Amino acid sequence: MSARGTFAVGVRVMLQLRRDPRTLALMVVVPCVLLALVKGAFDGQPGTFDRVGGPLVGIFPLILMFLITSITMLRERTTGTLERLMTMPLSKLDLLAGYGLAFAVVAAVQGTIVGAFAFLVLDLDTAGSPVLVIVLAVANALLGMSLGLFTSAFARTEFQAVQFMPAFILPQFLICGLLVPRHDMVGLLEAISSVAPMTYAYDALSRVTSEGSLGGEGLADLGVTLGATLLALVLGATTLRRRTA
């Protein structure tokens, strides 16, 4: 791995994103609109938005980030630039880490704006500090990013890549504990949810939202989230092939 390669890729990806301001705007606006929708939908149930709003500040960006990174990586594959890069002195991990670097910047901006919108405009009220919620939201987005980069390796077309969202992310969303507490689920689902990375990303946010602080278990959740993010990046690098059929 070299800092030069990672940095080169990171700068390039950011330049490409800058060329597509509409996508950047959507990445920030969509989670805000969805949060506003949730608040409006639970208007008759006071307290519900304060319970689910915090976790959703992280989960919506996670979903968007997953979609965007998986398509970006697929594009690199289908336009032949990946093949060219693989003939150059660039390590596979440099490429993935470069993507990670660029999208981490995007995730930070996204998380900050979405969080600020939830707290300032939607009057989200959490037990824990808004800053901590935002930091965890960014960690959520980073997880979405690396899962997207990883799964894009298994998609040959855009159609497949887009469907990986309902295939990989939606099930995790359903069983992460947001809709139903995990201990109320069928045993099998509870077991599956305990190995799904989104469960930990949700859990950390949920603790800060309702208990006010991370605590030991919350820190462990954050550790698992970050660990899963790194693991997906490294696994993503191993799926890149210098030689193809």
Residues that bind other proteins (CB under 8 A): 4-5, 7-9, 11-12, 15-16, 19-20, 79-81, 83-90, 242-245
Torsion-angle region of 171 (φ positive above 0: left; ψ -120 to 50: alpha; else: beta) = alpha
Q: How far is the CB of 15 from other proteins (least distance, A)?
A: 6
Cβ 183 to other proteins shortest distance, Å: 48
Question: In angstroms, what is the minimal distance from the CB of 95 to other proteins?
Answer: 9
State which residue, 39 or 92, has the beta carbon closest to other proteins: 92
Rounded CA-CA distance 147/129 in Å is 27
Q: Rounded to whole angstroms, how far apart are CA atoms 36 and 40? A: 6
CA nearest to 214, candidates 204, 224, 223? 204
Please name which of 245, 239, 201 lies closest in space to residue 62, comparing C-alpha atoms: 201
> How far is the C-alpha of 146 from the C-alpha of 156, rounded, in Å?
18
Nearer residue to other proteins within complex by CB, 25 or 120: 25
Least distance from other proteins to the Cβ atom of residue 166, Å = 27
3-state secondary structure at position 177: coil
d(C-alpha 167, C-alpha 90), whole Å: 32
Tell me how far apart the alpha carbons of residues 123 and 117 are, in angstroms, rounded to a whole number. 9
Nearer Cβ to other proteins, position 72 or 225? Answer: 72
Taking the complex as a whole, how short is the minimal distance between the CB of residue 241 and other proteins, in angstroms? 9
The residue (of 35 and 240) whose beta carbon lies closer to other proteins is 240
Nearest residue (CB) to other proteins, 10 versus 197 = 10
